[in-house]
Structure 1
């Protein structure tokens, strides 16, 4: 049980994760000059602990160690202790996750535990979760604390040399540099490497634990739109398997973070906004490509969950739901057989039992986590029912189970509004609205977009988000934007990408003006003018041991890849060579990394694919009502490299768009790269142009 008689400096923070630790007996500091100066003056090493509010193993380590009086006393005596929310400070997380990989020679994760030299913040020892007693091949946390502190004070000479070596390695990783433009063979090698790691039975990549890897699936879906149908089928197969497994919440919709098994059956139960934004977009496009109803149903459920549970009254989307409730992972989501039977009617129970796998042995610590073990049609056949009746009974069972679950203690919600993660959700809502025929989804994305434009775009500069949902708690604390932190590369890149999708769903000249302002600011503050590509932090960002610049994907697609694609799209739309040049230089800078490990750079592969085959841009000009039929013709089939903008007659347009003038009747302008066709004067003529490509 956590002691509540303590209060540390984190009580003054707004991050839900930091506030979770505000009453630890550990003398926690937030990252900042006060803590760094104290460590320097006292010559005490820094214990840097990085996590996030929905992280199950972060909670475990907190309960076992940070709430323990004896462990806290040791930490306070030997270290200056700094706690960081990785969602607020992805720059620090990127740097020290990379340091962990260098020092421990294996990937990191959360909680991340890194020990730093107080005089230069260089890391000299790193791990993730440490148990209170030695197990899992790990030392006890208290033993590790003593050994690390002893090493720091006794081995200053070797520490200085190790610091120099580690910093040199960190600064050499992923720096990139000018090279020749990668060609289509890199795309093929990326596709083949993904195929080699593909699980042809369960779908997805590799074994347990298994992550959705939405960026890789998006690349395969797009690459498979041409002659290579197998690539697209891999993506569709993976999405289908994920949808029926336990990765999806079969009652409320939406996705958990990853599966602990290869079958997608048992998830790690936190729900992250970024996962759901990426997967909603992917399922919407997969449905548009395939027309398979289960993919549509999955996308509809995910979008409904985002609106119902994750959208703040002010418009933005919250960051995450915790994995734990009442101190147990997954407690909110799992069932006993009797709980399900008691909630349902005699008619509903047999269908639910078969469809949700309740006729199989328990799959989660003596209870059941729901999955779609059988379709309603399969249940109907086994139970001698009509398929429509089984479908209706399953749906009514879902409603009752959801209502019953709603009476439980809910997982905690991290109510930060993060710009990059909101941008992923906005993009997803725009795509879902278009491909699923749901204008209410577009409304939701537009509200979030306007929230960011009003609250995260201040004085011509983007900020990384705001605490407390942007609501009363934030205003009461007098904090206009999340700690006043300027945005990172991902914030700019994802938001630019989202605006280009939202503009296709619903034209707004203010959004286009904002997109160009974001692109200009990105080029001014983040570009690596010497080697190409973009740094993760702005030129005037806080000085850290490293200015990160990465090309590889991690939990989300690489910002450099998303920026390259978005800048190229905007450059083609406006005829702006600066944007096209920046996109080209990014791809060149990443060329060597893409060639060595193409499968690790899915976002850049997708950007490269569009660079080699520029998007087809359709600009409709006319009265808003009259353009609907034209939009329908342009969107009858999914085309991953087609962009369609229906721009009302009265709109004033910048750049090359100004030449796409409205006539007395609606006109359609079709361009691809530097080649434009004469305007089409009817929906049928437009359709013929799109089908023939001439």
Structure 2
């Protein structure tokens, strides 16, 4: 192992000291075993470079891979609180998105129904739990227990973007809108730390000090008696009831250091039960709780905030951009779509090297809050390209602004030049990532990017490249598809054939908007959406000549559902289009 250097992160000084002492003792007592174990780890890492398509190997069967992935997830599913393991429990958006995609192609089967139930129950338990910040919104990194109650309070940008997409997808398939977290429009920084100082004059930062409350503190902040409430209850009395706040605290001191008497907000009672308990209306209760959260947020802001990691990574920025684009499209919220486009413009201005035609990995906020770049900017990694391409495609489908599709196409071509393995297929980035974790692997995302781009630009070579990529991962997909749920989604899209939905009409016309809104209201994981506005000199018409033959019927905006651009009969009614798309 001489000369080998490995790295890790998220280690405190105390952990480093413990690791050093433990490793030293182990080396002294059993050095040969330790070295042998290290060699096995290195060998496993080396194999990550060897993933390739064997001669004659074919694309794995979509249904077989999807069914096995579902079975493996079902086996690890925790029924009471959702999620896929015991504590610590992570959100794992890639698992949830796969389950909802699996349901979309197996709606009539018991497996499909069970997959949807697993995803929705997990999302429901998370949004009710302490992993969800009920005061400032957003989700923390993971739960330290199986019930999603006490989290590690760090917040990561990649979680927020992916979970926004997961919740809006759940909304599309029928989850109650009240359980779908609103997308917050804060800055796209990388992370918010778990630790903060209890007071301005404090010297030692501690985890969760600005996010835990004692019951007496909440009552003192909300002392007003609520007119008509049973027992002369105050706003504080009413506000602590649904969130499981206890006088002795609802956090086990053995679980979290210095948490005696402290509470982490978690929804224990519905607004209906709480309103009935205090004899007030649900509307009045909602007003009281909203006001209480605002006051708690104001107090939190007055305390020293957790450290904010102000570097801005292209890949994570892309994930959040997609959240705004997808949510904005489904809800028809122009403000969110404008936010997504501003984010894309920021990427273009600060993370794009025009001269080198390359993405830059990161930029920073300086002391004066101006965006800064290091003297020698870091070139973009594979995941920067893959994630940004994917999110630009989402933004194109949400806004139908061709400039985003054109940039996505250019970035994909550049990614292919920089990272494609022409011998073994797949994209290189030191290792060929063969696991979807907190973020999907860049190869998983790229497989779907290539397929979507081929159907949006007519370049058939990208379909072949997507298939080559998936074939390179065949062994992994067949044996342990649970490791690559996002890539399994791409295998399913290849098998079930991506549909092109073409809306022919004027961009600003009401009937055009109605048809686009109909498409956006449905969860259709294997489709691309495009607007044919009649401009035969435009980018789409030049790339897809068949669009010239698709025209509005009877002067009305018209929708065509196509497979490989063989199109079904046109429809002009949103209700008829909905029926057609769900068949």
Give the TM bin, normalised by the shorter chain.
0.7 to 0.9
- Relative to the length of structure 1, the TM-score reads 0.72
**1:95-494 matches, cutoff 5 A:** 129-132=15-18, 141=20, 144=23, 167-173=42-48, 175-178=50-53, 179-183=57-61, 184-225=63-104, 226-227=107-108, 228-296=112-180, 298=181, 300=182, 303-304=183-184, 307-308=185-186, 311=187, 317-326=188-197, 327-344=205-222, 345-347=224-226, 348-359=235-246, 361-364=248-251, 365-366=259-260, 367-458=262-353, 459-468=356-365, 475=372, 479=374, 483-494=376-387
Distance apart, 1:146 and its partner CA: 9.2
* Structure 1 SS opposite 2:241: helix
Give the Å deviation of 1:386: 1.9
Q: 1:652 pairs with 538, 543, 546, which one?
A: 538
Q: Work out the CA distance in 1 between the residues paired with 2:192 and 2:531.
A: 37
Measured after TM superposition, the shift of residue 535 of structure 1 is 1.1
Cα distance in 2 for residues equivalent to 1:368 and 1:291 = 28
Report how far residue 186 of structure 1 moved.
1.2
Between the aligned partners of 2:5 and 2:357, the Cα distance in structure 1 is 37
Deviations 1:382-413, CA, capped at 9 Å, x for gaps: 22222222222111111111111111110010
Tell me by how many angstroms 1:46 deviates.
Answer: 8.6
Structure-1 residue corresponding to 2:500: 617
- Asked if 1 retains the 8 angstrom alpha-carbon contact of 2:88 and 2:143, the reply is yes
Q: 1:234 to 1:360 in 2, by over 3 A?
A: farther
Deviates more, 1:632-641 or 1:432-441: 632-641
Instruction: Select between 590-599 and 636-645 the one with higher mean Cα deviation.
Output: 636-645
- Whether 1:573 aligns to 2:456 is yes
Cα shift at 1:165: 6.8
- Once residues 685 and 244 of structure 1 are traced to their aligned partners in structure 2, the CA distance between those partners, rounded to angstroms, is 34
Q: Which runs of 5+ in 1 are unaligned?
A: 1-43, 65-128, 133-138, 312-316, 537-546
User: Residue in 2 aligned with 1:607?
Assistant: 490
CA separation of 1:678 and 1:242: change in aligned 2, threshold 3 A: closer
Among 560, 563, 567, the alignment partner of 1:670 is 560
In 2, distance between residues paired with 1:341 and 1:603? 46
Q: 1:404 to 1:647 in 2, by over 3 A?
A: farther
Match of 1:506?
399
Aligned equivalent of 1:112 = none
Contact (CA 8 Å) 1:210, 1:260: kept in 2 or not?
Answer: yes
Whole-angstrom CA distance in 1 between matches of 2:545 and 2:407: 17
- Is residue 519–residue 579 contact of structure 1 (8 Å, CA) maintained in 2? no
Mapped to 1, the partners of 2:403 and 2:368 lie a distance apart of 24
How far the C-alpha of 1:198 sits from its partner, in A, is 0.6
CA contact (8 A) 1:222 1:640 kept: yes
Rounded Cα–Cα distance in structure 2 between residues aligned with 1:636 and 1:321:
33
User: How many angstroms does 1:264 deviate by?
Assistant: 0.1
Unpaired stretches in structure 2, ≥5 consecutive residues: 198-204, 227-234, 252-258
**Mapped partners of 1:641, 1:560: distance in 2:** 18
What secondary structure is seen at the aligned counterpart in 2 of 1:355? coil
User: For the structure 1 residues 342 and 221, does the alpha-carbon distance in structure 2 shift closer, same or farther, using more than 3 Å as the test?
Assistant: same
Q: Relative to 1, partners in 2 of residues 1:688 and 1:407: Cα closer, same or farther, differing over 3 Å?
A: closer
Q: Is the 8 A contact 1:432 1:441 kept in 2?
A: yes
1:682 aligns with 2:557: no
Q: Deviations over 1:399-440 (max 9, x none)?
A: 111111111110010011101101110111111111223221
Distance 1:281 1:470 in 2: 33
- What's the CA shift for 1:648? 4.2
- Are residues 1:641 and 2:520 paired? no
Q: Which has the higher contact order (CA 8 A, sep 6+)?
A: 2
SS of the residue 2:85 aligns to? coil
The two structures, once aligned, show a CA RMSD in angstroms of 2.9
Structure 1 residue 673, shift from structure 2 partner = 3.7
Q: Distance in 2 between matches of 1:280 and 1:470?
A: 30
| Count of aligned positions | 538
Residue 524 of structure 2 aligns to a residue in which SS?
Answer: coil
Would the aligned equivalents of 1:320 and 1:415 in 2 still touch at CA under 8 Å?
yes
CA distance in 2, matches of 1:593, 1:205: 20
In 2, Cα distance between the equivalents of 1:401 and 1:462? Answer: 41
Given the superposition, is the C-alpha separation of residues 422 and 263 from structure 1 closer, same or farther in structure 2, using an over 3 Å criterion? same
Matching residue of 1:314: none
Contact 2:214 2:247 in 1 (8 A): no
SS at match of 1:528: coil
Residues 616, 670 of structure 1: 8 Å contact kept: no
Which residue in the other structure is 1:123 paired with?
none
Q: What TM-score do you get using the length of structure 2 for normalisation?
A: 0.85
SS of 1:256 mapped into structure 2: coil
Determine the C-alpha separation between the residues in 2 that align with 1:555 and 1:455: 25
- CA shift digits 1:58-86 (9 cap, x unpaired): 3x32xx4xxxxxxxxxxxxxxxxxxxxxx
How far apart are residue 564 of structure 1 and its match? Answer: 0.3
Q: Aligned in 2, Cα 1:604/1:672: closer, same or farther, shift over 3 Å? A: farther
